Amino acid sequence: MPAVYSTQQKSAITQFISFTQLDRNTAIRALKSHGWDAQTAVNAHYGSGGGASTGSPAAKANLTKLFDRYASAADKNIIDAEGTMKYFQDTDVDVEGLESLAALEIVQAPTMGEMSRDGFVNGWQERNCETVDKQKAYIKNLKREMPGDKELFTRVYKYTFSIAKIPDSKGVALDAAIVYWGLLFSGPLSAVKWTSSNTPWLEWWTEFLNSSWKRSVNKDMWNETLKFAQLTLTDESLGFWNEESSWPSVIDDFVDWVKNEKRGGDKQAEVMDEEY
């Protein structure tokens, strides 16, 4: 009797084959060895010699040549905004989508819309993707994985701060932070959608910041917002929060605002506690 695979396992098989172009039986063996995690299995396949060696001089030469195709005429060690747009077109990356941030995280872009030679070569060499076709396939697979991969989401989220912040400063301008939060917390590829049937958290957060916060967003506030968002999705009553917790003051103020401005004191919170 043929083996019966779950919908998730069938999806993993399809993803593995799509990226590696290997046969179904090889895909199944690889996925079984890695807990049916398609991304891990693909990385292990290439890392173990199924593709070009990470340290291959030929792979590095190919990546260097590929970088030159998009490099700025003014600075050959930089792919500028125009070159990045062309590269995104060639790899099917939506510049306004969450995958653009994931792609820039791979190459550790120093700023939004710009890539360095070392970051590009090293980032793709580590993933054994020395051609546009392989990079395109890798990103395609990444897009499939992102909605269910909170570890990947967290990595992209934390990295985004570095490209979103104001040059030569320690913070992200509030208006820019709100735009990025909108993309990260509400995009179709997001693994952490900050809203629920009972509470439009992201909408409230944005409303509160626009009315009550006048400063830029520092790294601590950026990272703690993700932590706070995840907790609110598991405990909408905000039972995890207390005055002794070491949250940034802006989050403490937001909690007070939610309780008093949106929930009419503690009445709605009590109802939600009963629901839990």
The mean pLDDT of 180-196, rounded to a whole number, is 96
Specify the pLDDT at position 172. 95
Residue range of the domain that includes 84 = 57-143
* Number of structural domains in the chain: 3
**Residues 123 and 178 occupy one common structural domain:** no
d(CA 257, CA 259): 5
Give yes or no for residue 240 having a pLDDT over 90: yes
CATH number of the domain to which 269 belongs:
1.10.238.200
pLDDT at 1: 45
Q: Look at residue 52 in the predicted model and tell me its pLDDT.
A: 45
pLDDT on residue 47: 56
pLDDT in tens, 42-98: 777 765 545 444 457 889 999 999 999 999 999 999 999 999 999 999 999 999 999
160 and 225 both lie in a single domain: yes
pLDDT for the residue 265: 62
Same domain, yes or no: 178 and 262? yes
CATH number at residue 67: 1.10.238.10
99 and 43 housed in the same domain: no
> What percent of the chain clears pLDDT 90, i.e. is strictly above it?
66
